[in-house]
Amino acid sequence: MAREYTLVINPGSTSTKVAVFKGEENVIQKNLSHSPEELDKFQKITDQYEYRRDIILDWFRTEGFDTAQLQAVVGRGGLLKPMPSGTYIVTDTMIEDLKIGVQGEHASNLGGIIAKSIAEAAGIQAYIVDPVAVDEFDDIARISGMPEINRRSLLHALNIKAVAHRVAKEMKKEVNELNLVMAHLGGGISIVPLRKGKMVDANNANEMGPMSPERSGGLPVGDLAKLCFSGKYTLAEIKKKISGKGGLVAYLGTNDAREVEEKINNGDEKAKLVYDAMGYQIAKEIGAMAAVLEGKVDAVVLTGGMAYSKMLTGYIEERVSFIAPVIVKPGEDEMLALNEGVNRVLSGREAAKIYEQEVK
């Protein structure tokens, strides 16, 4: 039986996305839902791994596949120790850290655990690709202005690196030959300077940078401090105003950019002002990250769900095209990105990394 398929596993809080790839082709994909009643039986998220693994294997076999046909299994990377980007072999040390939750509990921690369990039984390798914990910051980028607070690397690493690799391929270069400013435009917004393939800085999408559909972005800190001590809000409520109920949803009551554009097209001047302000802030942050690269920028790349909006990307492009050509790569396909990461290793274009060697 030929080993020609890759199983891709992407666990979310209430579902697990699964896909089978043959080379670059997505042969079949499914979203496997998990009821709250089933998940409530487990004390910790990582305790769910056998339950989710068995559902995945049932689906896989029902679709007519056999694990003897698999060449690799890849899972979404979780909240591991800070690490360089890349494709990693899932090792026992990594599994221990995923189970402990070294940077917190999250459904993505299950990705590597499930992948290794299935791969071991099939006698093949399990991998993860560019987890949320990727940290390639220059030390200078960690300084905040207040010694008690460090700037942290939390960003949409998987999509940013996957799109950067695609752009490099189109430019007939390797990603480590280019300087790019990457802008991931989704529910959260990550603007990242990619210097020769490394993500050396970023706005933390939850706390800084431009406002987004549901996040406030950076705020005037004096006024924020006053709000915190006004007695009107609990810590949880303030955090929700910053991430979840900030940005477009705070001003316009919706986190859907399409609804906002409809309002603008119907002559809503407030909607236009707020939406333009988001584009303006994104453009400013792109400019700041171009300065990190000393102005040596090969391209500015706009990606993520909101990059489908010609109104928004057009507004941004008008303001940043003086820096470098603007390339628009809309959407986010995590399953494709995970498969591409594994393919780079299986084809020999990239070496797989070992977690414990990289996080020493």
Check pLDDT > 90 for residue 278.
yes
Position 251 scores a pLDDT of 98
Domains and CATH numbers, the chain: 5-136+334-357 (3.30.420.40), 172-328 (3.30.420.40)
Position 191 scores a pLDDT of 98
Where does the pLDDT of residue 104 fall: very low under 50, low under 70, confident under 90, or very high at 90 and above? confident
Mapped onto helix, strand or coil, the DSSP state of residue 9 is: strand
**pLDDT (mean) for 224-234:** 97
Residue 189's DSSP bridge partners are: 185
**pLDDT (mean) for 72-87:** 95
**pLDDT (mean) for 218-238:** 97
Pairing, β 126-129 against β 149-150: unpaired
**pLDDT (mean) for 327-354:** 96
Check pLDDT > 80 for residue 108.
yes
Percent of the chain with pLDDT over 90: 89
Backbone CA torsion sign across 180, 185, 191, 194: negative
Mapped onto helix, strand or coil, the DSSP state of residue 13 is: coil
Say which DSSP state 83 is in: B
Where does the pLDDT of residue 9 fall: very low under 50, low under 70, confident under 90, or very high at 90 and above? very high
Question: How does 97-122 read in b/e, with b if 16+ C-beta sit within 10 Å?
Answer: bbbebbbeebbbbbbbbbbbbbbeeb
Where does the pLDDT of residue 112 fall: very low under 50, low under 70, confident under 90, or very high at 90 and above? very high
d(CA 27, CA 353): 27
pLDDT tens profile 152-205: 988 889 999 999 999 999 999 999 999 999 999 998 899 999 999 999 999 988
**pLDDT (mean) for 227-243:** 96
Residue 179's DSSP bridge partners are: 195
Average pLDDT, the chain: 96
Where does the pLDDT of residue 345 fall: very low under 50, low under 70, confident under 90, or very high at 90 and above? very high
Pairing, β 149-150 against β 143-146: antiparallel
- Residues shown for the chain: 360
Q: Which two tokens stand for residue 339?
A: 């498969």
Check pLDDT > 80 for residue 360.
no
**pLDDT (mean) for 334-340:** 96
Closest listed residue to residue 77, CA positions, set 107, 49, 100: 107
**pLDDT (mean) for 32-39:** 90
Per the model's pLDDT, the better-predicted residue between 43 and 59 turns out to be: 59
Q: Vertex 241, ends 265 and 143: CA angle to 5°?
A: 105
Orientation angle between helical segments 221-228 and 235-242, nearest 10 degrees: 150
Check pLDDT > 80 for residue 69.
yes
pLDDT tens profile 125-148: 999 999 988 999 999 999 999 999
